[in-house]
C-alpha cells in the first residue's frame, strides 16, 4: 500500500484525506461532498470513493436507505491522523472569518463562540515591507512608538522573523539604537521611510535560535481529583508536561500560561499549574520569570 500511495498525485491524495476526514468526524460521505468541495465531476467523485475503498475496504460501507457511504465498524485511519486541534482550528477559522465556509472540511458546523480578542491594527503595507526586508536581508528605517518614550522615534531595525505572542504580532529584529535583538510590535510601526542592506546575521540572535523547556505540573495544593483534571486539560503524563519555547518568546509564554507571577499570589484553583523546573533553567532564562515584560521594543 505504501508504494501505491507514493504514486498518488497530490490532488487525489487530498481528496482521499477529505473522504477520511468526513468519515471520522461526520460518519458519512458521498459523491456530492467531493463535487462541492473540489469541483470534480460525478465520475471523478465516484472514482475517488472507489479508490478509497480499495485502500481501506473496512472503513466505509454503502447505506442504501440513506444513499450515502457511512463509517464502517472496522474504521482505521489510513490517510490522516485524527487531530482535534485541526478540527477546532477549522471551526475557529470559519467563525472568525479567516476561512471561508466553502473551504472548510467540516460539513455540519456546531454552534461556536469565543472570548473576543481586540483586532490589532497591523497596516498591510507595513507588514509587506517587513516581510520583504526579511526575505532580502535588509534593514528598515521605521518610526516606532515605544511606551518607554512619549513620542515616536525613527530608528533602524533589521528584521529577520515574525512572531505571535498569543495576542499580538511582532517582528524580531536587530535594533541599532539599542545594539541588540528585540521584538517590535507591528502595530506600533507607524512609518517607514528607507531601507538598506543589512550587515546583521539572523544566526547571531541566540535568544531566537535557542530553546527553553518548561516543565509544567498541577498546582501542588489542588486536591488529587482536581490535579487529575488539570493533567487531562494539559495532556500531562506522569504529572507533568514539557513545553518547548524559543528563549526570545519565553516571557510571552510564561505570561500566557500564568506562570509569570508567584504561584502563592493566587488561589490554587485560579493558578492551576506551576513551573516545576524553574530552578533548573539557566540564569538568563530564569531572569524572565516574574518579569512583567520582555526585551521588547516597547
Q: What is the pLDDT of residues 19-61, one digit of tens each?
A: 999 999 999 999 999 999 999 999 999 999 999 999 999 999 9
Residue 96: the pLDDT is 79
Residue 284: the pLDDT is 54
User: Any idea where the domains of the chain sit in the sequence?
Assistant: 2-82, 124-202, 210-286
Cell numbers representing residue 199 in the block: 550587515
Whole-number Å distance between alpha carbons of 15 and 109:
20
Residue 69: the pLDDT is 97
Using alpha carbons, select from 206, 276, 205, 207 the residue that is nearest to residue 247. 207
User: Under a CB-based contact definition with an 8 Å cutoff, are residues 235 and 273 in contact?
Assistant: no
Phi, psi of 249 (to 5 degrees): -105, 10
The listed CATH number (2.30.30, 1.10.10, 2.30.180, 1.10.3470) that belongs to domain 124-202:
2.30.30
Residue 1: the pLDDT is 52
Whole-number Å distance between alpha carbons of 48 and 51:
5
User: Under a CB-based contact definition with an 8 Å cutoff, are residues 78 and 56 in contact?
Assistant: yes
**Secondary-structure class of domain 2-82 per CATH:** mainly alpha
Give every residue of the chain whose pLDDT is below 50, as ranges.
290-295
DSSP structural state of residue 187: G
Residue 293: the pLDDT is 38
Q: Do domains 2-82 and 124-202 have the same CATH topology?
A: no
Site of grid cell 536581508: 137
Residue 7: the pLDDT is 54
Residue 102: the pLDDT is 86
Residue 172: the pLDDT is 98
pTM of the full structure? 0.75
Residue 5: the pLDDT is 55
Amino acid at each position: 500500500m505504501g508504494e501505491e500511495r507514493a504514486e498518488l498525485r497530490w490532488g487525489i491524495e487530498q481528496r482521499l484525506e477529505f473522504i477520511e476526514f468526513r468519515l471520522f468526524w461526520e460518519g458519512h460521505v458521498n459523491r456530492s461532498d467531493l463535487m462541492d468541495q473540489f469541483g470534480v465531476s460525478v465520475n471523478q467523485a465516484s472514482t475517488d470513493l472507489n479508490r478509497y475503498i480499495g485502500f481501506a475496504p473496512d472503513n466505509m460501507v454503502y447505506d442504501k436507505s440513506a444513499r450515502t457511504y457511512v463509517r464502517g465498524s472496522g474504521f482505521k485511519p489510513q490517510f490522516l491522523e485524527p487531530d482535534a486541534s485541526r478540527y477546532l482550528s477549522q471551526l475557529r477559522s470559519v467563525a472568525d472569518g479567516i476561512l471561508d465556509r466553502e473551504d472548510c472540511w467540516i460539513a455540519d458546523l456546531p454552534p461556536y463562540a469565543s472570548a473576543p480578542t481586540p483586532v490589532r491594527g497591523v497596516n498591510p503595507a507595513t507588514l509587506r515591507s517587513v516581510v520583504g526586508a526579511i526575505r532580502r536581508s535588509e534593514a528598515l528605517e521605521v518610526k516606532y512608538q515605544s511606551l518607554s518614550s512619549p513620542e515616536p522615534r525613527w530608528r533602524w531595525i533589521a528584521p529577520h522573523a515574525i512572531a505571535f505572542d498569543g495576542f499580538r504580532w511582532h517582528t524580531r529584529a536587530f535594533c541599532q539604537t539599542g545594539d541588540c535583538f528585540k521584538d517590535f510590535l507591528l502595530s506600533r510601526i507607524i512609518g517607514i521611510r528607507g531601507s538598506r542592506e543589512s550587515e546583521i546575521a539572523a544566526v547571531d540572535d541566540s535568544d531566537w535560535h535557542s530553546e527553553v523547556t518548561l516543565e509544567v505540573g498541577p498546582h501542588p495544593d489542588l486536591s488529587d481529583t482536581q490535579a487529575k483534571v488539570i493533567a487531562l486539560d494539559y495532556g500531562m503524563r506522569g504529572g507533568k508536561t514539557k513545553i518547548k519555547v524559543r528563549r526570545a518568546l519565553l516571557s510571552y509564554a510564561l505570561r500566557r500560561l500564568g506562570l509569570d507571577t508567584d504561584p502563592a499570589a493566587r488561589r490554587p484553583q485560579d493558578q492551576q499549574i506551576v513551573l516545576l523546573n524553574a530552578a533548573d533553567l539557566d540564569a538568563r532564562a530564569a531572569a524572565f520569570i516574574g518579569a512583567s515584560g520582555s526585551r521588547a521594543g516597547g
